[in-house]
Amino acid sequence: MDAKEEVRSRIAIEDIIGEYVHLKRAGRNYKGLSPFSSEKTPSFFVSPEKNIWHDFSSNKGGDVFAFVMEVEGMDFRQALEHLARKAGVDLSLYDSSTSRQLSERKKRLTEANRLAAQYYQHSLLRNSHALTYVTDARQLSRQTVQDFQIGYAPDSGTALTSYLTKKGFTKKELSDAGLTNRYGGDLFRGRMMVPLMDSTGQVVGFTGRIIIPDDTAPKYLNTPQTLLYDKSRHVFGLSQAKEAIRTKGHVVVVEGNLDVVSSHQAGVRQVVATAGTAMTEHHLRALKRLTPDVRVAYDSDKAGIAATERAIALAANLEIDLTVISLPGGDKDPDELVRRDAGAWRRVIEEQQPAVEWVIDQYKARVDIGTAAGKRSFTTAALAVVRTLTDAVERQHYEQLIAEVTHSSVEAIHEKLQSVSETPSARRAIKAEIKELVYDVHAYEDDLLAVACIDAPSQELFAHFDIRLLHTDERQQVANFFARHYGKSLTDTPKELQNIDTYVKILLLRADARYAEWDTNDRYFETARLIRQIEQEHKKQTHEQLTAQLRSAEDTGDEVMANKLRVALNDLIKEIARGKR
């Protein structure tokens, strides 16, 4: 048995999902309100028998790992480790010797960071000047301090090192954890400590904010790159924000960790931070697991514009809707705005501007559009951003906008776009293939296959059905199975379909939840109706294609082709009319 199956065997899917969804018994299954939509009627089902869940409202489904990945925004390895901890499974036993050693090192470093966070918390309570700074200067409540495990690093130089050494940690381990400096003493001294946590809430590093001003020391000090902490991947506040992100349907990305802390305290919890403005593809991938609506609140200085440009290129390739939040002129960062007027912070989040449009406005404000030189400079900068967009319609929209701003023709702008050299940010952008569980407009095809799973007579209809009309390979495989093996309802995945076992189990759960109470006649008519719907939809699409081809033939003066297309179009219209009778 491999690690995944060992974890699966030790946990009950209804118990894990029950931590997120209030489930009630529904025959052999459980049901509840979808955690992925704002529905008011339960359409989320869990089958302990099949170890599968399915959400009718969003057409998402899968095993317990798929659920944790979806609801927590984790990748598979993170979900496996998360569930292994709950199940009491030691994953290192299933790894190679090298992997086991690496896993053991990570465990030790994680434990060192956990104990360090505890030590800093206790230290905060023992140092009145630090506590005064946290509660008065930073205006942080006791609850916020607890939620973010905020603490204080004493200024002695060896306080933490001595504490962890007594706990059995070696100097090498403390160095690997990023807790000591090059001399072996404490890295963080005299600072308010904010733990950096991974998406599951485990401490992987720290940000230290100096309390007593010192021109010789940096205001903020972060854990260096370690086995646990990588600033190019880490999203601060994600473990505290992910529930709010799912509920609100968007995420706000700010520059500073304390911007996040203040925002959460004000009740705006869908806020996270990257390391300054250095947003990477890894950050966006992590956020997209929770929402494709990403709103950044960067400064409008040179660094903020450059960072937004880089993010635009990455977001376009990852199909993320990137927008920008502009702060009122008098506030230098979200932390300052939140402390002055939390309501204003909420309002500006809802007044976000498309990122490309925001960048164009920033460039427009920096040059004299009334001069030829200004127009040249502006269009060069603006088109360099537009060029990174992958959608042709979106590019055309911004070409027209730039033409209006400069009082130029769209043709001239388009011609210049073709000559603009690729920007460094565009060259760095890596195209990604992301397979996400998203709502499927062809979900009714799953209904067709689900009802046929439990109704043997209905399966005969697939013998005369064009299986190629179904929109995924999985659906075609199941339909092809029915066409060749009709006459027997399914209770489990047949051996011919073991390669898509999870999908078949989702269909069986879908059938059980939706069609179990129907009689045979109703199921048969439902199958016939859904097949007709699929065939009619295909004819409508063909009609649109033929119409477009006919217009093209007429525009080019190809009368022979136009006549052929008119005949085909008329025949198809008659077919569609017969299908509606």
Q: What is the pLDDT of residues 334-347, one digit of tens each?
A: 998 998 899 999 99
| Residue 191 vs residue 319, higher pLDDT | 191
| CA–CA distance, 561 with 441 (Å, rounded to integer) | 33
469-472, Cβ contacts within 8 angstroms, sequence gap of 24 or more: 469/534, 469/535, 469/538, 470/442, 470/445, 470/534, 471/442, 471/445, 472/442, 472/445
> Is residue 579 pLDDT above 60, yes or no?
no
Measured distance between the N- and C-terminal CA atoms of the chain, rounded to whole angstroms: 56
User: Token pair for residue 386?
Assistant: 């537009």
| Total number of domains in the chain | 4
Nearest to 189 by CA among 259, 236, 237, 123: 123
Same domain, residue pair 376 and 345: yes
Look at residue 385 in the predicted model and tell me its pLDDT.
86
What CATH number does residue 390 fall under? Answer: 3.40.1360.10
> Is residue 425 pLDDT above 80, yes or no?
no
Sheet with 29-32: strands ordered across: 24-26, 29-32, 44-47, 52-55, 60-62
Same domain, residue pair 253 and 381: yes
Q: Span 154-182, mean pLDDT?
A: 94
Answer yes or no: are the C-beta atoms of 319 and 434 closer than 8 Å: yes
Domain interval for residue 467: 440-581
> Is residue 497 pLDDT above 90, yes or no?
yes
Q: Span 75-98, mean pLDDT?
A: 82
Look at residue 124 in the predicted model and tell me its pLDDT.
96
Look at residue 438 in the predicted model and tell me its pLDDT.
39
Same domain, residue pair 260 and 212: no
Same domain, residue pair 57 and 137: no
Same domain, residue pair 83 and 174: no
Look at residue 428 in the predicted model and tell me its pLDDT.
36
Q: Span 84-92, mean pLDDT?
A: 84
User: CB atoms < 10 A from the CB of 496, how many?
Assistant: 13
Same domain, residue pair 127 and 196: yes
**DSSP bridge partners of 195:** 206
Q: Which amino acid is at 69?
A: M
- Domain boundary residue, one of 428, 459, 490: 428
Same domain, residue pair 89 and 215: no
| CA–CA distance, 196 with 132 (Å, rounded to integer) | 22
Same domain, residue pair 423 and 456: no
User: Token pair for residue 304?
Assistant: 């903020």
User: Token pair for residue 57?
Assistant: 């409202």
Strand 60-62 to 220-222 pairing = unpaired
Answer yes or no: are the C-beta atoms of 457 and 527 closer than 8 Å: no
Nearest to 180 by CA among 115, 118, 122, 224: 224
Same domain, residue pair 215 and 312: no
pLDDT averaged over the chain?
Answer: 86
Q: Is residue 266 assigned to a domain?
A: yes
Look at residue 99 in the predicted model and tell me its pLDDT.
67
Same domain, residue pair 73 and 145: no
Q: Which amino acid is at 501?
A: D
> Is residue 440 pLDDT above 60, yes or no?
no
| CA–CA distance, 500 with 507 (Å, rounded to integer) | 11
